[in-house]
Each structure stands twice: as C-alpha cells, then as structure tokens.
Chain A
C-alpha cells in the first residue's frame, strides 16, 4: 500500500506589488511512496522540495491537485496524528528545556498523559540528549537542535516521517548521527520521506529517489536504476609524461604525477583511447570502469549553471 500518494499537487504564488504575476513554485507533481520505504527527494536549493513538504503538511494550500497519506486526505486530522515533521533549519521555543518542549509536542500529538513523561525521557535518551534534557534550548548547539527536531518528529511514534534537509548545516559528526537515526527509523519499518541536496546521504540511505528542479519532477526510481541510465566512465592509467592531445580530444579529464598519467574518459571512448595509447607506444598500467554515482545522474538532469549553484557534496 502507498504511504504517500501525491496526485498532481501544484502551487502557484501571486507575486509582485499588485500580486498580479503568477509564479509556479511546483508544477503538477505525481509521486507515490510505498509503506516502509526510505525515499529521497533531491534537488538544488529553490527546486520546490520545501514547497512540496509544506503542501503535504497543510502549511500552504495547493493551487490544484491533492495528496493522500496512509490513504487519507492530508487535511484529515487523523493523518496528522500518524505523521512526524522536521522543518528545514528548525528553531524551537528557546525559553523551554528540551524536556518541556517534547512534553508540549507530546500533548499536542495526543500522547496519553500516563506514558507522556516516560516517552519523553526515552526519546531524549534515544537522540543522545539524556543529560541535556533540562537545559534551555537557547544553550543548544545546531547539532543538538537538529536532534531535538528529529525527537519531536518521531516522539509520538508516527508511521510516516517527513524530514526537510535533515543534514543541512551539520558538521560530519552531526550528519553521521542524523544518518544513524534515519537508519533506525528505516529498520523500525517507518516510511521516511526526506528532502536533501546532499547526494551522498540520499545514496547511502534511500531505496528510491526523485529529482526535482525548478518545480518540476525530473526523474524518479531506484538509485541503481537511475545511475545505470547514465553512461559510465573509465579510468585509464599508463606510463608516460603527458596526456596525448588525441586523448584530450575525446573529452578526457586527467593528470600526470611523475611518470604516470591518468585519464578518465567516457565509456564509449574507451576503445578509441586504448588505440591512441597503442599508437603512441605508451605502456598501459590499468583500465578501471568507474561506478556511476547519483551525482552523475543528478548532474545529467540539471543544467550546468544550476549544478554549480545547487549541488553540495
């Protein structure tokens, strides 16, 4: 059964002083995410990822289209009890302690009073904030706030968890911790829908991903299938002091260290490159096919200018 069904959701804002200029933030989007799936929603900054999440959370109203979560319409309050949401760069009531904040959210999520206190303590322990539970949030680091953010999103044991850029702005340790938390959710069988522009995270965590750019879905599928759709590259290493001009002409990128030269050429140019090396009497050391990454797929779906701005790996 589909946990999330997005059926042509579209959002157009009226912009300008007189609000007479339409700006389409999201073109009609059709997407389906299965129960228990960890799904990555990829795109550069401003691609429409947050707009999609806000539409699903009911924070903005769609211009047209609809969506269902666990078979129910998104404005159904019963759905809200089954989902958890972490907004991008979350900021919480900093006059509260982590424990007070989670208790407040537990109240709003209708967590029974009998188990509320134990649930909050358990969650603080789970996200590694057991010793900081009674510290006011204004004293928390960004990484700690992100952990509080994830705690509030999963506190009420939701079936579907939406995370907007959960690794954004975190240091490598923080990213690793958040990644581990998502792994745990995955093992618990929860459906996780997270947006990111950090491709390595999506590649490591997701079964399927979708790529969105300028409000339009550019591709969706299993990571392996998507990457196989992009033609691969091959690394050639030989003994030599430079890279022949004919190899450079094949679109190769390479470098020379000492008397060893290295070039990466498109898979389809492999034979031509080997022929050039043979002709030049250069001694071949190795030929290694390079694995196509999600980044290659992502790049193939975006224009070069947008990639330079949006991709952060």
Chain B
C-alpha cells in the first residue's frame, strides 16, 4: 500500500522535472546573484538584510506559484487525459493516489527549495565573506516556507479534486492571499460584535494561518526563533494539511469519472 504512494509520488516528481518546473531555478539563480552583486555595491551594513529578505521572499513566491499551478493540475489533468483510468483499474486505492500526488509535489518543492537555499547561502557568503550564528534562523525560516508550500499544495490538490483548473487556481491563490493576512483577519474578528464576530472568527480560523509561518523579516533582523514556535507551527501545518487532504480524499473517493 505504502509502495503505491511512493511510486505515484516518484512519478509525479518525474513529471514535474520533465515539465521543466525546476527551470525556475535558473531565473532564481540569476535574480539572487544579480541582487547580491548589486547590494554589495550600493548598500552599507544592510547587505545581509537585503539578501535574506529578497532571497527568502523569492523562494516563497516561486514555490507558491509552483505549488498552485502544478498542484491544480495534479488530479484534473489526470482525469481530463484519462491517465487516471489506467491507474485506478489497478490495485491502487483512490486515497493512495491523492496522497502519492501530494508527496510527489511536496518532494519537488523541497528539492527546489533546497537548491534555492544554496543560492541564498552562497549570496550571503558573498556579501559578508563568512557565515554567522544567526544564519541558523534562516534555515528555520526556510523550514517554515516549506510548511507553507505543504499547505498550499494540499489546498490546490483539494480544489483540483472537484473543480476546473482555472477555478482551482483562483480558489487556491485567494486562500494563499487571505492566509497571508490571517493574523490581521483574527485581529479584525476580535474587534467585531455579534454575528459578524462569529463569522469573522470562523473565517479567520478556517483559512490557513500563513502569516504565522512567515518569519522572513525577523530572521533578516537576526532575531532568534523559539523552539516553541517551531513546534507549534509544525503541529499546525501538519494538522491543517492532514485535514485538507482528508477533505480531498473524501471528495475524490465519491467522484464519478464520467
């Protein structure tokens, strides 16, 4: 059973690589090396801050775009092209297919992030000539970015399991934007009264709290990250992803492939 998930995940990874998804690394490499050379010339004492901010934001943006645009096609493309039929006619359960697809794209994004992270660290080394103790927090920020990718991938997969690619992209991107302001939404909910409060609070807790996973600014200012936050964010992301995947599986399991 677990082998099927690994086979489907590895095929999804291979598809992403052959669809030239990882070509974004070239654009990223050009961007980060250009930025490092430029800030080295024009900024005084804030080179590291600029490189970390720019690098991590670019990693996050590139990854989210891949998660959404590859994620929305993960299931719908297989249905549209009927490749799914030959998979589900084998001893493969529908939930294995969904979970395999999720891990395939999650693996692609992790590999992608790994190479982009190497670029950021190379740029940091270039601008400050040595690594610092606070660079560990950059690693934590990268870890949180990967957690964001897992959530966005699961959401794209959920929408892909019942909706068209275009609508899935709109839904997933909207949730990503709203989720990036989840803390503000919670603040707004706390200020309202009556039914609005219930509704706003419900919406604030329903959308993914991606703002809690964004610590780019604080690590750029070399502020440490507590172990408690790492544990809490990990648990939150895993539970959220688990629930979204369960939703995707429930929908996918009941679907008729007409």
Contacts and interface: CB of A to CB of B under 8 A. Distances in A.
Contacts of A100: 14
B82 A109 contact: no
Contacts of A54: 85, 257-258
Interface residues of B, number: 25
A289 interface: no
A122 interface: no
B89 A57 contact: yes
A90 B88 contact: no
Contacts of A104: 7, 11
B81 A91 contact: yes
A95 B85 contact: no
Interface residues of A, number: 32
A104 B4 CA distance: 10
B212 to A, nearest CB: 37
B83 A59 contact: no
Contacts of A153: 86
Contact of B19 (A77, A85, A95): A95
A108 interface: yes
B88 A58 contact: yes
Interface string A151-171: 011000000001000000000
Nearest to A80: B91
Nearest to A108: B90
Interface in B59-94: 81-83, 85-93
B85 A108 contact: no
A80 B18 contact: no
Interface string A57-87: 1111100000000000000011011011101
Contact of A59 (B4, B7, B18, B257): B257
B249 to A, nearest CB: 16
Given A77-B91, A93-B15, A109-B91, A87 B85 contact: yes
Interface in B91-119: 91-93
| Of A58, A77, A108, A162, most B-chain CB atoms within 10 Å | A108
Contacts of B88: 57-59
Contact of B86 (A58, A61, A90): A90
Given A77-B93, A80-B91, A95-B18, A107 B7 contact: yes
A60 B257 contact: yes
Interface string B16-36: 001100000000000000000
A188 interface: no
Nearest to A58: B88
Contacts of B90: 80-81, 105, 108-109
Contacts of A92: 83, 86
5 contacts: A59-B85, A92-B83, A95-B18, A107-B7, A108-B91
Interface of A: 13, 54, 57-61, 77-78, 80-81, 83-85, 87, 89-93, 95-96, 100, 104-105, 107-110, 152-153, 162
